Structure 1
Amino acid sequence: MATGNLCTVEKRGRVHLITITGAGDHRLGPPLLSALRSAVAAVRASSGAGALVIAAEGKYFSNGFDQAWARTVPRRLQTSMSEAFRGLVADLLALPMPTVAAVTGHAAAAGCALALAHDAAVMRASRGFLYMSEVDAGIKIVDYFAELLRQKVPDAATRRDMVLRGDKMTAAEAVRRGVVDAAADGGVEDVVDAAVAAAEALAARGWDGEVVAEIRKAMWPAVWDKVKDYGAEAAAARPRL
């Protein structure tokens, strides 16, 4: 299944695989965010349980928000981009199945936050880094990014190095510091295969997906509180005028 020309959705065993397509740096502008949210919604609407993996083609997992686009549009549209990503994080936290990020290349700023929004992450060992670039770019960090890092990066010194020093973290260091779960040798497909295998193992546990989602929200309450009003779940619950 294709979602526009920006990402695809396929099924591998019990695992739903969303792949951001193309060889670019996968900037999270409105078109890609819309495509990803549509893909996650399609996975949610599919029958049966399972697990989700999000991966990307090429050198980048995601290089963050589309700042070049943001500089050309009014402030309200810049805000809408951040709100759409806030909604994507909410969609992932509310998804009734385990989630694994296949960090196939560089993951910077919002791209790094996207990887951390999953339950687990597998990172490419030979190429790519996690990089919170805001301090280098002179951009303030948004509140839900800060909460995501606070709750998903266990060590205070690691959070400091990522956010206040802008350190670029390799897979080996990210595993050592407990930021990602595993590093996979080889190319993009090897990382995807490792992430799918990890997701398949979680899917095989046969958990109740709605229970998984509620536990996830309870585990990361400060993040959920900051994103819950922007997700598909909240939109579906609003009365139609």
Structure 2
Amino acid sequence: MPYLTRDGDVFVLYLGNEGEQDNENRFHPDWMDAVHASLDEVEASEGPAALVVAATGKFFSNGLDVEWIFGNLDKVPEYLDRSHTIFSRLLTFPMPTVSAIQGHAFGAGAMLAISTDFQVMRSDRGFYCLPEVDLSMPFTVGMNALLNSRLPKQTAIEAMTTGRRFGGEDALKSGIVQSAVPGEDVLATAVSRVANNASKRGPNLAGIKRSIHGDLLAALAVKTRDTPFSFG
């Protein structure tokens, strides 16, 4: 389950199990509940603060929990709506945020990575990828809006229609991330990116973010009960 650490004014939300390196950090319902619980804890803190979303091992996040989906097909629309709440919450989080992408960010994991204010990615290993086109899997209204809002238009078209795997340097050139650094520097770079802005936390910052992302947030709030969802 996700867990928190702290580096000065910067909270670090790790997406996987503490002490383990092989987590895929998929969007299981329990995992999503744990992410929200961690964010609740960060919001309940006092004083200057910022947030880094990080992981360890091979994956930042491998996206939706396909095994859970196949076992719960009747619950998929509600499951997708729940995944949208992770994106919406990060988009409007009342403090500076950055994703420290140390490994693969696929599908919903790639969407999570661009839901923070800024992105730092490992330059020498790991991919940013949207494999939905190869899985015959549609994007929800909210996911489509997220990708088209947070990525440059031509990058969104290429990522969504070809399933291209962007390495760190490619992701930087394509406008997906703002920094690409060696693996050992990802977390420190992310912490440095937001630490100096920790004093800006609060309702005013959250309100600014809601204004910036107004149309996107409305799209993420659209219920997906009637969205077709299938693989293959």
TM-score, with structure 2 as normaliser: 0.89
Q: Which runs of 5+ in 1 are unaligned?
A: 1-5, 231-241
1:225 aligns with one of 209, 214, 218: 218
Structure 1 18/38 Cα, relative in aligned 2: closer, same or farther at 3 Å?
same
Could you tell me which amino acid in structure 2 is paired with residue 116 of structure 1? Answer: I
Question: Shift of the alpha carbon at 1:208?
Answer: 4.9
Q: Does 1:167 align with 2:167?
A: no
The number of residue pairs the alignment matches comes to 219
In the alignment, the residues of structure 1 paired with residue 219 and residue 207 of structure 2 have an alpha-carbon distance, to the nearest angstrom, of 16
Is the contact made by 1:11 and 1:17 (CA closer than 8 Å) also made in structure 2?
yes
- What letter is aligned with 2:200? W
Correspondence for 1:128: 126
> 2:56: which partner in 1?
57
Q: More deviation in 131-140 or 193-202?
A: 193-202
Does residue 216 (structure 1) correspond to residue 209 (structure 2)? The answer is yes
Instruction: Please tell me the root mean square deviation across aligned C-alpha atoms, in Å.
Output: 1.6
- Cα offset for 1:49? 2.7
- Write the mapping of 1:182-221 to structure 2, written as runs, cut at 5 A: 182-187=179-184, 190-203=185-198, 206-221=199-214
Q: 1:227 & 1:167 partners in 2: Cα distance?
A: 24
- Letter in structure 2 aligned against 1:159: A
Contact 2:96 2:201 in 1 (8 A): no
* In structure 2, C-alpha distance between the alignment counterparts of 1:133 and 1:71, rounded to whole Å: 17
| CA distance in structure 2 between the aligned counterparts of 1:209 and 1:191, rounded to whole angstroms | 26
Contact kept, 8 Å, 1:60 with 1:107, in 2: the verdict is: yes
Distance, in Å, in 2 between the alignment partners of 1:208 and 1:199 is 11
CA distance in 2, matches of 1:172, 1:191: 13
Shift of the alpha carbon at 1:41?
Answer: 1.0
Does the 8 A contact of 2:142 with 2:222 survive in 1?
no
The answer on whether the counterparts of 1:10 and 1:18 sit within 8 Å (CA) in structure 2 is: yes
Q: Secondary structure at the match of 1:83?
A: helix
CA distance in 2, matches of 1:42, 1:79: 28
Distance 2:129 2:154 in 1: 15
The one-letter code of the counterpart of 1:110 is: A
Matches within 5 A, 1:25-174: 25-76=24-75, 78-154=76-152, 156-174=153-171
- The whole-number CA distance in structure 1 between the counterparts of 2:70 and 2:26 is 14
Is 1:9 aligned with 2:4?
yes
Contact 1:34 1:84 in 2 (8 A): no
User: Deviation per CA, 1:3-29, whole angstroms, max 9, x where unpaired?
Assistant: xxx111121111011112231211111
CA distance in structure 2 between the aligned counterparts of 1:40 and 1:79, rounded to whole angstroms: 24
SS at match of 1:168: coil
Distance between the aligned counterparts of 1:109 and 1:66, measured in 2?
Answer: 11
CA distance in 2, matches of 1:39, 1:215: 23
Q: Please report the TM-score for the alignment, with normalisation by the length of structure 1.
A: 0.86
Of 45-54 and 85-94, more deviation after overlay is shown by 85-94
State the one-letter code of the partner of 2:138: K
Distance 1:90 1:138, change over 3 A: same
